[in-house]
Chain A
Amino acid sequence: MDGRIVIRAFRDGGGENRMSELVRVTDVTKVYQGGITGALNGVSVSIEQGEFTAIMGPSGSGKSTLLNLVAGVDRPTSGTVVVGGTDLGKLGETGLARFRRDHIGFVFQFFYLLPNLTALENVLIPAQLKGNSPNGRARELMERLGIADVGNRYPARLSGGQQQRVAIARALINQPTLLLADEPTGALDTRSGEQVMELLGELHRDGQTVLLVTHDAKLATRHAARVISVMDGTIVDDARLESPERAAAEVIRVRGEEAAR
């Protein structure tokens, strides 16, 4: 029952108006027993459809907590989280599980692939939870992510970069409204990390709304035009960056010491 409401809300809101509001977090507080790490204190923020937003902040600042609340993985102590017109607080556990399955794609730092399933089988899990087995779409996605040739391998036989691509394909298999990524490059070497971020950037250019938690400001600003800074459980800055064409000299000045004698 809950699920149907969610789905209708998305149909009404999605598509025709690209810059409509997709996520609204209002005055959210999250208190954890036994400590303040990761707590949130009166956070309000809104995310538009089609945006690529980066959330940055030190460890324990609450940035991952914010992501988990938007994902419906966790519930706030007070305040509301509305995604696609649906108030997640009004959903029961079953409704919340259905919401996550149908609308959220989640990519983690440590991939979380099931070790006894092949790459292809891992990609298919979320679809199978819905009773589907879209082999064609899975292969298409894996092709696009450059992992078509490792579909029959088990995770242990994949590199970190390949495992993260499998995880991204898994996150995308149900065509999520919102793609959430929590430090997706944190366990990867520089080059694999760049490639994974490049993929997220491509998905965004194709219209995917992406919410990224990261430590890496270099990578974040390459793709995200909006950077939200979280510190001690509050949003301390919300920067919308410009992307004009700039001449090299407007961005960098190289100078040595002048005045050769």
Chain B
Amino acid sequence: MSLKYGVLGLLKEQPLHGYEVKNRFEAMLGGTWDVNIGQIYTTLQRLERDGLVRPVGHRGDRGKLLYELSPEGQEALDEWLATPDSGPQQLHEEIYVKLLLATRIANGDLKGMLARQKRAYLQRLRDLNRLEEGARRDGRIDLARLVRGALLHTEADLKWMDELSSERFGTEGAKTE
């Protein structure tokens, strides 16, 4: 979803070729999201099909085709920007499943698992701190804000580990239904 709107947003600044879209998108995300050129072309074609972007000038060498935002595209972009993120929270990491499984299998002895995970989060905090520092040094305040969000998330993960560590896990923790 956000790749589609990311492309629309970049085209709002100025008409771009597929490769320029790819490069600008990756630069905007500071290397935290790699897209391949195929994805960009597929996205541009779908956007063109839906009338949200249109080619500028003549269709020649496809790689050189410039795209611009259509009024409909502008409208779709504005609407997307004005809509808050909602819906279910995305928990992508495996720790969530590990925790549930370990509660059943390890008979409530999660200490080692929690300690290892906590260490990993501490290391991640350190890495994120360095990334934030680098972003600020490079004058990328927008990127530093993104990293700040990640820092706060990881801090919450760490607090979660602490909370779990101080719990007494008994067999009642894992209801097998």
Contacts and interface: CB of A to CB of B under 8 A. Distances in A.
A247 B127 contact: no
Contact of A247 (B31, B128, B152): B31
A237 B119 CA distance: 8
Given A248-B32, A249-B34, A252-B128, A241 B155 contact: no
A162 B33 CA distance: 41
B131 interface: yes
Given A217-B158, A218-B155, A257-B1, A252 B147 contact: yes
Given A218-B129, A249-B34, A251-B128, A241 B123 contact: yes
A191 interface: no
A218 B166 contact: no
Contacts of A249: 31-34
A243 B1 contact: no
B33 A254 contact: yes
A252 B42 CA distance: 25
Interface string A221-246: 11001010101000011010111011
A101 B123 CA distance: 35
Interface string B24-61: 00000111111000000011001000000000000000
B3 A221 contact: no
Interface residues of A, number: 31
Nearest to A226: B122
A229 B158 CA distance: 12
Interface string A21-65: 000000000000000000000000000000000000010000000
Contact of A261 (B46, B131, B162): B46
B11 interface: no
A1 interface: no
B158 A251 contact: no
Contacts of A11: none
A250 B124 CA distance: 10
A242 B30 contact: no
Contact of A58 (B118, B119, B133, B162): B162
B166 A248 contact: no
B107 to A, nearest CB: 20
B146 interface: yes
B64 interface: no
A4 B152 CA distance: 48
Interface in B1-15: 1-4
B99 interface: no
A254 B146 contact: yes
Contacts of A58: 162, 166
A256 B3 contact: yes
Contacts of A257: 1-2
Interface in B116-145: 118-119, 122-131, 133
Interface of B: 1-4, 29-34, 42-43, 46, 115, 118-119, 122-131, 133, 146-147, 150-152, 155, 158, 162, 165-166
Closest 9 A/B residue pairs (Cβ): A256-B2, A248-B31, A221-B125, A222-B129, A221-B126, A260-B4, A252-B32, A254-B32, A251-B127
Interface of A: 58, 217-218, 221-222, 225, 227, 229, 231, 236-237, 239, 241-243, 245-258, 260-261
30 contacts: A58-B162, A217-B125, A217-B155, A221-B122, A222-B129, A222-B133, A225-B126, A227-B122, A229-B118, A236-B115, A236-B165, A241-B122, A242-B123, A242-B126, A243-B126, A243-B130, A246-B127, A249-B32, A249-B33, A249-B34, A251-B124, A251-B127, A252-B32, A252-B128, A252-B147, A254-B33, A254-B146, A257-B2, A260-B3, A260-B4
